Amino acid sequence: MHRFVVISRFLISLALVVVFAGMASAQDRRQNAPGEFDFYVLALSWSPSFCEAAAERGNSGRAQVQCERPYSFVVHGLWPQYERGFPEYCQRPSPRLDRNIMTSMLDLMPAPGLIFNEWDKHGTCSGLGARAYFESIRKARAVVKIPEEFLQLSEQKTIAPGDLEAAFIKINPGLSSAAISVTCSGRRLSEVRICLSKDMQFRACEETDRRACRRDEVVMPPVRGG
List pLDDT tens digits, range 9-20.
Answer: 544 444 444 334
Between 121 and 27, the more confident residue is: 121
Q: What angle do CA 180, 186, 188 make, to 5 degrees?
A: 60
> Would you state the pLDDT for residue 209?
80
122 catalytic residue (yes or no): yes
Whole-structure pTM value: 0.85
> Would you state the pLDDT for residue 62?
58
Between 59 and 150, the more confident residue is: 150
Closest among 153, 154, 150, 174 to 163, alpha carbons compared = 150
For residue 109, give the amino acid letter: M
> Would you state the pLDDT for residue 29?
54
**Residue in 52, 122, 165, 191 annotated catalytic:** 122
> Would you state the pLDDT for residue 147?
98
> Would you state the pLDDT for residue 127?
97
Confidence of residue 187 (pLDDT cuts 50, 70, 90): very high
Q: What angle do CA 52, 189, 118 make, to 5 degrees?
A: 80
118 catalytic residue (yes or no): yes
Asked if pLDDT for residue 2 goes beyond 90, the answer is: no
Mean pLDDT confidence for 56-84: 85
**Residue in 52, 118, 165, 191 annotated catalytic:** 118
> Would you state the pLDDT for residue 223?
95
pLDDT more than 70, % of the chain: 83
Q: What is the dihedral of CA 32, 204, 135, 33, to 10 degrees?
A: 10
Confidence of residue 48 (pLDDT cuts 50, 70, 90): very high
- Cβ atoms of 104 and 133 closer than 8 Å: no
- Read off the pLDDT of residues 74-131 as tens digits, 9 standing for 90 and up: 999 999 999 999 999 999 999 999 999 999 999 999 999 999 999 999 999 999 999 9
- Cβ atoms of 194 and 41 closer than 8 Å: yes
> Would you state the pLDDT for residue 43?
98
Confidence of residue 30 (pLDDT cuts 50, 70, 90): low
> Would you state the pLDDT for residue 28?
38
Omega within 30 of 0 (cis) for the link into 95: no
pLDDT more than 90, % of the chain: 74
> Would you state the pLDDT for residue 69?
87
* Lowest mean pLDDT segment, chosen from 61-65, 127-131, 174-178, 208-212: 61-65
2 catalytic residue (yes or no): no
> Please, which residues bridge with residue 82 across strands?
none
**Residue in 36, 52, 76, 148 annotated catalytic:** 76
Mean pLDDT confidence for 182-186: 96
